[in-house]
């Protein structure tokens, strides 16, 4: 097990359209002053004056404190969880050739002050556990994964059963050994609750970030007020969802987290904003100014992004689908934010035949276009769920994010498979 501590300060100075930024690990008065001077010099090109302001705390409730701080839990207890998950996974059969269990926790304390007089702070504790398995068989090597993570302390394991996670991870890998190759072609696709949130995060969410919109790198640019999705679809980014992986009290510019409706009943209503872009438009930030650490500049980032629940019975959605593919879990993929085109791997998927989920399939991708998929959603279940915790990468920075969906059906989506 490894542990570490990193602390420092980042200082941003904005002069007109120019931004200067400097960071330092020296938190002495001299160190902070030097960083501030460097940032100011970069912003004003070596000339100009200075603005002196006083700051005062804003009334923002901090993130809910961890009930069981992870730093108070013995390392042996954490190792014990890893051992339980490993043993449970390997007990599923000799086909399991490799198990990787991971435990992680972090505490992020931030203090933000700016020239608007804001002084805000937050204390964010996150705890994560995951199990990955490799199964070996006649079809080669197949993998399975299970993970959980929340913005809470060690109390995560009051509900998370690591042995069950180990078993499910192993079962997923073993099931794929006998899975059929995925079909190819455009078919109806049903996405299970929580299983496809990453698709909408990547293929739609990034295109709703104001910095990309401003650069002309978004297919959603200049479309506020337009119908961009099925009338069934409401898409929200919400940093206020207590306990979720993308939850916080304030963003990295000192703005309170927001509940931001991006698409309402299929109509594009707004983008996500940081303070820099919002100020140029004469509006308030939406609380989406985030950064990886004090060494990075804040930029527009998602928090917890999800499609809200509908009214359909999930079983009826499947029963009303004569044939197609059911996706329980999506993996990584590639997205062009300027067009919305994407390719995502299906890490757990099954055929739908005669209105029933039947054989598992493997080695398949979903290929499509985010805005097009939004218009093709014709059924939404009432079984909303958040998906696995994720780290969103953008311009070299990673931040924790969540995503979620109910069961939903896309009338036609291309599956790229290997079946003859």
Q: How far is Cα 328 from Cα 145, in angstroms, rounded to an integer?
A: 12
Quick check: helix, strand or coil at residue 40? Answer: helix
Q: Is residue 114 a contact partner of residue 55, using CB atoms and an 8 Å limit?
A: yes
Please tell me the distance from the alpha carbon of residue 223 to that of residue 411, in angstroms, as a whole number.
24
Q: Determine the 3-state secondary structure of 279 from DSSP.
A: helix
Assigned token pair, 315? 């079983």
C-alpha distances (whole Å) from 368 to each of 7, 166, 184, 361 are 42, 33, 13, 19
pLDDT in tens, the chain (420 residues): 788 899 999 999 998 888 999 999 999 999 999 999 988 988 887 444 444 445 556 667 778 889 999 999 999 999 999 999 999 999 999 999 999 999 999 999 999 999 889 999 999 999 999 999 999 999 899 999 999 999 999 999 999 999 999 999 999 999 999 999 999 999 999 999 999 999 999 889 999 999 999 999 999 999 999 999 999 999 999 999 999 999 999 999 999 999 999 999 999 999 999 999 999 999 999 999 999 999 999 999 999 999 999 999 999 999 999 999 999 999 888 889 889 999 999 999 999 999 999 999 998 999 999 999 999 999 999 999 999 999 999 999 999 999 999 999 999 999 999 876
Give all domains of the chain, ordered by start, each with its CATH number. 9-51 (no CATH), 70-178 (3.30.2290.10), 185-416 (no CATH)
Residue whose token pair is 């002053």: 33
How far is C-alpha 148 from the geometric centre of its chain's CA atoms?
13
Of the chain, the end-to-end C-alpha distance in Å amounts to 46
CA pair distance 202, 345, nearest whole angstrom = 13
Residue 238 is classified by DSSP as E
Find, among 77, 59, 90, 307, the residue nearest to 199 by Cα.
307
Instruction: List Cβ<8 Å contacts ≥24 apart for 338-341.
Output: 338/216, 338/217, 338/218, 338/219, 339/219, 339/369, 340/203, 340/204, 340/207, 340/219, 340/369, 340/370, 340/371, 340/372, 341/368, 341/369, 341/370
Beta strands (DSSP E) in 56-194 are 56-57, 96-113, 118-137, 140-150, 180-181, 185-191
């Amino acid at each position: 097990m490894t542990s570490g501590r990193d602390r420092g300060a980042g200082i941003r100075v904005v002069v007109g359209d120019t931004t200067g930024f400097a960071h330092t690990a020296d938190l002495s008065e001299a160190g902070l002053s030097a960083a501030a001077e460097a940032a100011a010099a970069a912003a004003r090109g070596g000339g100009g004056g200075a603005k002196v302001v006083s700051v005062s705390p804003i009334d923002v409730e901090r993130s809910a404190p961890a009930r069981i701080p992870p730093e108070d839990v013995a390392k042996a207890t954490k190792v014990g969880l890893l051992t339980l998950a490993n043993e449970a996974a390997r007990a599923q059969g000799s086909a399991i050739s490799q198990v990787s269990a991971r435990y992680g926790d972090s505490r992020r304390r931030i203090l933000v002050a700016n020239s608007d007089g804001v002084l805000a702070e937050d204390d964010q504790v996150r705890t994560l556990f995951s199990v990955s398995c490799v199964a070996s068989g006649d079809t080669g090597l197949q993998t399975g994964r299970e993970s959980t993570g929340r913005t809470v302390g060690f109390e995560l394991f009051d509900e998370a059963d690591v042995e069950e996670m180990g078993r499910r991870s192993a079962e997923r890998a073993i099931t794929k050994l006998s899975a059929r190759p995925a079909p190819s072609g455009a078919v109806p696709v049903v996405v299970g609750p929580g299983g496809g949130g990453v698709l909408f995060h990547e293929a739609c969410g990034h295109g709703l970030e104001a910095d990309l919109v401003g650069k002309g790198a978004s297919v959603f640019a200049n479309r506020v007020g337009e119908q961009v999705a099925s009338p069934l679809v409401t898409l929200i980014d919400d940093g206020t969802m207590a306990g979720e992986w993308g939850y916080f009290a304030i963003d990295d510019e000192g703005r309170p987290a927001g509940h931001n409706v991006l698409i309402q009943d299929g109509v594009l209503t707004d983008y996500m904003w940081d303070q820099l872009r919002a100020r140029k438009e004469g509006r308030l930030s939406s609380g989406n100014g985030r950064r990886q650490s004090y060494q990075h500049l804040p930029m527009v980032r998602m928090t917890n992004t999800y499609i809200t629940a509908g009214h359909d019975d999930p079983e009826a959605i499947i029963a009303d689908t004569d044939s197609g593919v059911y996706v329980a879990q999506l993996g990584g993929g590639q997205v062009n934010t300027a067009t919305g085109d994407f390719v995502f791997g299906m890490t757990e998927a099954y055929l739908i035949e005669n209105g029933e989920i039947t054989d598992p399939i493997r080695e398949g991708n979903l290929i499509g276009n985010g805005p097009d998929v939004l218009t093709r959603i014709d059924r939404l279940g009432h079984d909303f769920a958040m998906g696995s915790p994720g780290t969103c990468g953008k311009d070299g920075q990673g931040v924790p994010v969540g995503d979620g969906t109910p069961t939903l059906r896309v009338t036609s989506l291309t599956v790229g498979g290997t079946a003859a």
